[in-house]
Amino acid sequence: MKIVHAKSELRAHVTAARKAGLTVGFVPTMGYLHQGHLSLVEESKKHTDYQVMSIFVNRIQFNDPNDFAAYPVDLERDFALAREAGVDLVFVPDEGEMYTDSLTFVDVGALTKNLCGAHRPGHFRGVFTVVSKLFNIVSPDVSVFGQKDIQQAVSIEKMAADLDFPVRIIISPTLRESDGLAMSSRNKRLSADERERALAISRSLKAAEKLIASGERTSGIITAAMKKIIDESRPTKIDYISAVRYTDLDYVERIDTKSVIAAAVYYGDTRLIDNMIVDTAGGKAKCVY
Ligand code: AMP
């Protein structure tokens, strides 16, 4: 596995891979890898021959400087996990390599007005800007994103279409710990007590699934049931528990079309997100979370 820090080096390796007839898959990350990240590489390997992963903690997407400062980093461990997962090349730029005197930013309008977009000003603009740059640097055939960050994944799919990036976006399911907690680099920051309480988020999604299976379609009733479960876990703050349409991410009063039910909840200083995609087409509801 090659580890490169410069864009020029990365381009040279990717160009050589392409010359050898290989297709290129790309998984962007902020590091502190877990099985969720590695499952994206697994997915990418199904579609492409040469696997590129980036590890870059992108300061401009952090609306909270304390969150940036506390973001966990362990590059040696990341390299070992990436190597084991079959990554061919890891791109680890420093901030100077990615941004010098940039004046250009990318936004995806309406798709970011709700959910996390409503609570993290500037966050998505930072994400789309760095992902656009990475797409131009890596020029992948396929890039894989996690359902866990559903607003990000759906918006990047739209961004790639709108800006004619010649890349296929794949959205891959959320990997969970055995007790249901969605894997996240931020989980490391939870105390044992906070981690236990945070299980309420995935439990609330399970409860929503049950309600939907029993025929309930009113968003307000479903999200109220989720809120009751999350409230009992004494969260520090709830940013949102919402139902939106897939893929325009506008609020829906009823879950009559393909929808996303999503929550963002703080335990201590740690903000956790989770979601479930609900498809009610044909009358029978299918939930993926
Ligand atoms: P991050 O390093 O948190 O920026 O995440 C990098 C990529 O991994 C994004 O596409 C995330 O959606 C994805 N990801 C994060 N957590 C999970 C998870 N538990 N399961 C699957 N993908 C994930």
CA of 145 to the centre of ligand 1 (A): 7
Round the average pLDDT of the chain to a whole number and report it.
Answer: 97
**Given this model, what pLDDT does residue 273 score?**
98
Q: To which CATH superfamily is domain 185-280 assigned? A: Pantoate-beta-alanine ligase, C-terminal domain (3.30.1300.10)
Return the residue whose CA atom lies nearest to atom 5 of ligand 1. Answer: 29
Using CA atoms of 216, 271, 130, 5 in order, give the dihedral in degrees to the nearest 10: -130
37 annotated active-site: yes
Q: Is the pTM of this model over 0.85?
A: yes
Return the residue whose CA atom lies nearest to atom 11 of ligand 1. Answer: 146
CA of 19 to the centre of ligand 1 (A): 30
Model pLDDT for residues 203-225, shown as the tens digit of each residue:
999 999 999 999 999 999 999 99
- Under 8 Å CB-to-CB from 168, ≥6 apart: which residues? 47, 141, 142, 143
Q: Which of 149, 175, 178, 179 to mutate to test the pocket of ligand 1 (most atoms within 8 A of CB)?
A: 149
CA of 183 to the centre of ligand 1 (A): 8
**Given this model, what pLDDT does residue 281 score?**
80
Domain ranges of the chain: 2-172, 185-280
For the Cβ of 265 lying below 6 angstroms from any atom of ligand 1, the answer is: no
CA of 28 to the centre of ligand 1 (A): 9
- Rounded (10°) angle between helices 75-85 and 35-47: 40
CA distances from 146 to 18, 226, 275 (A): 26, 23, 11
Is CATH 3.40.50.620 correct for 2-172? yes
Model pLDDT for residues 8-49, shown as the tens digit of each residue:
999 999 999 999 999 999 999 999 999 999 999 999 999 999
Closest atom of ligand 1 relative to the 182 alpha carbon: 19
CA dist., res. 186 & res. 191, Å (int): 11
